[in-house]
Amino acid sequence: MKIERVEIREIRLPLVHFFETSFGRTTLRQVILAEVFSGGISGWGECVAGEGPFYSAECVATAWPVLCDYLAPALSGRDLSGPRDLPVAFQKVRGHRMAKAALESALWDLEARALQIPLWKHLGGTRSEIPCGVSVGIQDSLPQLLEKIEAEAQAGYRKIKLKIKPGWDVEMVRAVREKFPEIPLMVDANSAYTLKDAERLKELDSFRLLMIEQPLAHDDLFEHRRLQELIRTPICLDESIRHARDAQAAIEWGSCRIVNIKMGRVGGLAEARRVHDLCARNGIPVWCGGMLETGIGRAHNIALSTLENFSIPGDVSASKRYYERDVIQPAVEVSQSGTIVPPEGPGIGFQPDRPWIDRLTFRRAVF
C-alpha cells in the first residue's frame, strides 16, 4: 500500500444542543479529519481531540501541528503493508494518541475499501446489530433533564448515561431514578471527585446504577482501587486507560470492573482491539464511549462495537442527536428498538459528503 497523498482538514460544525460535562459546555465542534489516498481510493479518519485540553492533554490546537509537522509527513510516500505498520512510522513521536488514531483509522478504512469488505468484518466483528445507549449532558434545570431523558427513552435507547459533578449528583440521580425506575442508568463524573468524596459517591449505591465512570483523577489507578473497595457500584475507567498496559494494571489491581474503550484515547483501532481482547480474557465487559464525533468517527465506533466483548450499550447514537446535517451519507440512524445495524458497504460503509465537508472546512493541509 503506497501512500500517495494525505489530507488534513479542520471543519467546524455546530451542535444541535449544547453538551455540558464537568469540564464545561460545548456548542460548536472543531473537528480534524484525515484522508489518506492510495491506489485511486481513499480512507477517512477523525481526530476526536476536543476544543480545549480538558478531557485530555490533546486538543485541536495541539493535534493540528503534530499531524501536519510530524505524522502526515512520516506517512506520505511510505509503502506500508497496512495500518499495523504505523507504530514503526510514528515511533519517534511520543503520545499524541488522538492525532495518531486519526491517520490509523483512515488507513483501516482505506485497507477495508481496497479489500471490498466492511471495516467491521475486517476487524473481526461478529455483532450484526449493536445495542445503543445515549449520553445526556448536564442541563440548566432538573425538569429539562427529565424531559430529555423521556425523549431518549421513547427513541428506544437502551442505556442512559448522566453526566455528574459536585452539586449535580445524588439528588439529581434520585429524581431521575424515581421517574424512571426501570431504565438502565449510569453516571459519568469525568474525574470531578476525589477520594475524600467517597461517602458522597457511596450514596449512589442505592440507585441500582450500571456503573460510575471515571469518578477520580484522569491518570489514577491506585485510588480508584481504594474507592471500588468502598462502594458496591462497579467503577468504569475511561481516561485512565490509555493503552492495553493500563488496562492490564487496572484489572490486576481491581481498580475497575468495566472499561470504556475509545479508539482515539488509546491511539487507534489496533490498540482498541488489544484492550478489548485483554478485557475479554479477564471477564471485564467493555463498551464504546463517544466524543461528539461526526459521522466519520461514529462509523469507526460502529465497526469497533461489533467486537464480541462490547456487551454494554455504548454511546453510539444517531447523527441527528448532535448535528442537523452530518458529514456522511446516509446519516447514522438508530432503530426504534435502540440498535444500529452495521453497514455492509466496503470500509466504514458510509460515504463522506465531500461538498458539505468542503463548505465546513476552516483550514486544510496536503502532503
Residues belonging to the active site: 163, 262
d(CA 7, CA 207): 48
d(CA 81, CA 88): 12
What type of residue is 345?
G
Q: Is 17 left (phi over 0), alpha (psi -120 to 50) or beta?
A: beta
Q: Which stretch of DSSP H or E encloses residue 329? A: strand 328-329
Torsion of CA 13, 15, 19, 24, to 10 degrees: 40
Q: Which stretch of DSSP H or E encloses residue 339? A: strand 339-340
d(CA 327, CA 361): 11
How many Cβ atoms from other residues are within 10 Å of residue 87's Cβ? Answer: 14
Tell me how far the alpha carbon of residue 214 is from its chain's centroid.
Answer: 14
Strands 134-136 and 160-163, bridge-based pairing = parallel
> What residue has cell string 452495521?
342
- For the record, the C-alpha cell of 344 comes out as 455492509
How many Cβ atoms from other residues are within 10 Å of residue 188's Cβ? Answer: 26
> Over the Cα atoms of the chain, what is R_g?
20
